[in-house]
Structure 1
């Protein structure tokens, strides 16, 4: 078999990583000094890395995160309320595997959405499925789904993801149906998936915001049990960024 036949075979088998690795070996003379077993090992590693990268891109695309926030860029500046050891533990994604929750609160601009998305990116890197939804938009989708008959399909999709990020909780008032739909979404995830909720309201005010004692008790029971709470503090990150840019310019 000729080299071209080998390359065509790799392409037909969709072993793109090995094909790229082989082309790299052909273009770099340093590989000629390696034994056959070593060169083969490099090809296998190249295929594995290619597949990992492809899976990550697919997971991030499906997650539809609002921002592609790199966990390495988390700002631990004093006064933000972020503990490195706590975040280090969360970034292992063990809480997701244990089907626990994270509740992120703080004033406007303190970086709640960015932090939530950084945890979503880290989960995707770990090979976990993620979905990002703004609470208001999600409830609008569910309202439509009630009408067109796709509600069960939507609920099943939300139930299957290993990490569901619900952003902007408390931003818009809940309708009677919205409260019930939110409870169903959370109930479907008990013991099956982790949920991250981000919002401006302090957790202590969530019960009053839901504005229905029975449903509030049920919703908060599913959220607060086995949850990690992050309270972001300090000035607006947007304001700080604008100020920094002004200083640079």
Structure 2
């Protein structure tokens, strides 16, 4: 009866990891030989692990990453333009904590989206908030939000996440509304939140893509996106093609 009451109280206090650990100890003959301090320490560790795992699941769910990718699976094969030391440094996520942007560019199939999601996954594992968005769809949603009055709310939500991943930058043409909305998104995040851009369009062609007859807006967006940013340029064969001819490839 005492055991049942203890488990009930632990669950009522939402100490689910500790409750499970307590049940595990009751079923383990080895646990009986541990001291009170050792058993209590194990219960505390299990509660902390349970909470960390629950938070990670929540962060990953909210991030809506398009690919199941992680930094440990990056493919460093020759010709991809990837350096282990650079990726290891970026994997610390200090650039996110300092509000620095990251640009991942390369040809179609080079693994830009995968790499962006790998950094997103890594950020979640370090307790940072992430949101993955395909830029063409995001701009469509923002255009609709002007009509229903939710634009400011959408903008505030985008401004809060530690890392915003904008995929397929430069893939679809921009109209005047989309150009101004993109500026607002970048402006709200500039200097204190990180934005990761993936694009098959070379950076030196971004101004032409963004200008659309309004170079002032293009200058403003580029200044906020590129100034002080870090860059990864993926090279080599299409990873999609390599998946069909070699061992499973990633990144």
Aligned to 1:216: 218
Alignment equivalent of 1:234, drawn from 214, 233, 236: 236
Stretches of structure 1 that go unaligned for 5 or more consecutive residues are: none
1:180 aligns with 2:180: yes
Aligned-partner Cα distance in 1 for 2:247–2:3: 54
Question: How far does residue 245 in structure 1 lie from its aligned partner after superposition?
Answer: 6.9
TM-score by length of 2: 0.96
Stretches of structure 2 that go unaligned for 5 or more consecutive residues are: none
Aligned-partner Cα distance in 2 for 1:198–1:245: 25
1:234 partner SS: coil
8 Å contact 1:183–1:219 — kept in the other structure? yes
TM-score by length of 1: 0.96
Aligned-partner Cα distance in 2 for 1:147–1:102: 32
8 Å contact 1:159–1:192 — kept in the other structure? no
Deviations 1:188-220 (A, max 9, x none): 001221000001011111111112311111001
Aligned to 1:79: 79
Question: How far does residue 235 in structure 1 lie from its aligned partner after superposition?
Answer: 0.6
Tell me how many residue pairs correspond in the alignment: 246
Question: How far does residue 70 in structure 1 lie from its aligned partner after superposition?
Answer: 1.8
Aligned to 1:112: 112
Aligned-partner Cα distance in 2 for 1:245–1:84: 20
Aligned-partner Cα distance in 1 for 2:31–2:73: 35
Aligned to 2:189: 189
Aligned to 2:246: 244
Aligned-partner Cα distance in 2 for 1:229–1:95: 12
1:155 aligns with 2:174: no
Aligned-partner Cα distance in 1 for 2:43–2:78: 45
Aligned-partner Cα distance in 2 for 1:38–1:225: 52
Aligned-partner Cα distance in 1 for 2:209–2:33: 68
Aligned-partner Cα distance in 2 for 1:231–1:134: 19
Deviations 1:162-208 (A, max 9, x none): 00000000000110111110000000001221000001011111111
Runs of 4+ in 1 over 3 A off after TM superposition: none
Question: How far does residue 244 in structure 1 lie from its aligned partner after superposition?
Answer: 2.7
Aligned to 2:54: 54
